[in-house]
Structure 1
């Protein structure tokens, strides 16, 4: 049995999704998303997809690149995942090695990776390769089929509810809202969006981004909060980003947006809602607990200097 690592090919899309869903079932992943992310990646991202293959079967995957939108320079990432039934064959080590070689070649000085904390083996794997643990984050799940969603709230005076579909003619206000809220998220590699055209390609037009289920709260006609939705077109719904602009925080508007989006998702037939939160993001964790989300897994961000 020989394991080798090679570049992803379009024909690998279904196998890639099979591995990722087995290794990380808490995220919405589709072949269309994988292909789009690779095709639309910004040149400065130096984005590369790797697969580990054993006797013709894809058993592992890795996403590798530069966090080019980070306010810190030369921040690399390498996120390898091996099918749970194919671990212990060396695929993870080969993926990490190939990923680090790529990042060194494009000027990265550090590599960040997420390590699933589902037992000592994964954390030990990272530690043996020189990665130091940083901040944890949680995956959370909410069952939509059991009817336990909080009721829809009455809108306060001056507050309106729209969807992303209402911005089809001009999505720029949503880009600006996404930029502000994302820049305030807790992160080792803080991000600020500056390229509107790239945002259109990688967020607005990304397969799975559901305009009809993305809820937008306005105050006096201006965007105040939003809850972005991604779906697999079948049963899974994911909150891609929920945020409130700084001037409107503390008024429960993010909760209003997310509640509307979740009700829309349930009405559309989605049964499983997922989201992710930095463990230090207390306000958003509190919002999700209010909805009934429960932590279903934890990942720990790790980092290694390579330059």
Structure 2
């Protein structure tokens, strides 16, 4: 049996569906749909030099990789590659071949530091170590039984505070872009990110096929967006893609308000399961999620390999 690595064929629905299925089996705590896979491949900024790869054995897709440069970071030479293999197709060489192919591409594009998320399990961690990657921070996947969760009531809003949805900004989403840019800059990460390209944000984030604008909640204070909770849905499951508050308004419970309102809307819309992820260093958000009833269901560990 021979394993080969090639680029994902974005114009082949069966190929894209196989990619999404392998991802779902490997990491079921993230929403993977064929539409989202194609969107990421097509709309990632050209400066990222991104690729989506598949490992194929006798015509079956058994492994996947997404890779690219961190083009929106102020520090050049940083890159990412995330490899996931079908859980029943380990030890066939797919993971190693995907890593080598990705590293060759990224090195050729000028990458000097490679970051990768690795599932927190003995086999996964040993694989990363064998390929020269060192452990860094960790991030938890969390799940909430939304159908039975004892969600707190919203109560009366403080003076000057109102709740809106992303749908309210359909005609002019720039205020949501500015809120996203302000909050992501403070998110715990190995790679600093700066959102400066509004058109790229529109293509990659605002028009993402999983973005649910009706469930994405924006907290407005004195007429200006101050906090939000971004909702992604795939028709059956709900996931929080981002929750944040601008620095000047933190410590007032606005993120908690945004997420609670979004979850209540999601349950009213018929969703019964809610997923999210949190960096282990993000104490305030972990506390909010614990307060809402989320439970940790898996962990990934960030790894890095420095080149030359």
Range of TM-score over shorter length = over 0.9
Equivalent of 2:164, from 162, 165, 186?
Answer: 162
Q: Corresponding residue for 2:112?
A: 109
Superposed, 1:111-130 pairs within 5 Å as 111-117=114-120, 119-130=121-132
Deviation at 1:245, TM superposition (A): 0.5
Give 1:72 deviation, angstroms: 1.7
The C-alpha deviation readout for 1:118-147, integer Å capped at 9, x for no partner, is x21110110111100000111100011114
Measure, in 2, the Cα distance between the counterparts of 1:69 and 1:191. 6
State the superposition RMSD in angstroms: 0.8
> What's the counterpart of residue 2 of structure 1?
2
Is contact 2:36-2:210 (8 Å) kept? yes
Pick the aligned partner of 2:103 from 78, 97, 100: 100
Q: CA deviation at 1:190?
A: 1.2
Cα distance, 1:296 vs. partner?
0.5
1:136 to 135, 138, 155: 138
| Structure 1 stretches of 4+ moved >3 Å | none
Deviates more, 1:95-104 or 1:8-17: 8-17
> What corresponds to 2:239 in structure 1?
238
1:282 aligned residue: 283
Q: Give the length in aligned residue pairs.
A: 305
Q: Is the 8 A contact 1:65 1:76 kept in 2?
A: yes
Q: 1:106 offset after TM fit, Å?
A: 0.5
Structure 1 residue 54 and structure 2 residue 57: aligned?
Answer: yes
Establish whether residue 294 from structure 1 lines up as the match of residue 291 from structure 2. Answer: no
The answer as to whether partners of 1:153 and 1:256 remain within 8 angstroms in 2 is no
1:163-195 per-position Cα deviation (integer Å, ceiling 9, x unaligned)? 000001110011000001000011110111010
Q: 1:19: how far off? A: 0.3
Deviations 1:220-273 (A, max 9, x none): 11111000011112x211111100011110000000000000011111111111
- Report deviation, 1:152: 2.2
| Alignment partners' CA distance in 2, 1:150 and 1:111 | 42
3-state SS of 2:6 partner: strand
Q: Which residue of 2 aligns with 1:77?
A: 80
For the residue of structure 1 that corresponds to 2:177, the secondary structure is: helix
What residue is the counterpart of 2:269 in the other structure? Answer: 268
User: What is the CA–CA distance in structure 2 between the aligned matches of 1:229 and 1:71, rounded to whole Å?
Assistant: 28
Q: Tell me the residue number matched to 1:199.
A: 201
Distance, in Å, in 2 between the alignment partners of 1:306 and 1:272 is: 41
Partner Cα distance (2:158, 2:210) in 1 = 31
Give 1:153 shift.
2.8
Please name the residue that 1:227 is paired with. 229
In the TM superposition, residue 157 of structure 1 has moved relative to its aligned partner by 1.1
Gap regions ≥5 residues in structure 2: none
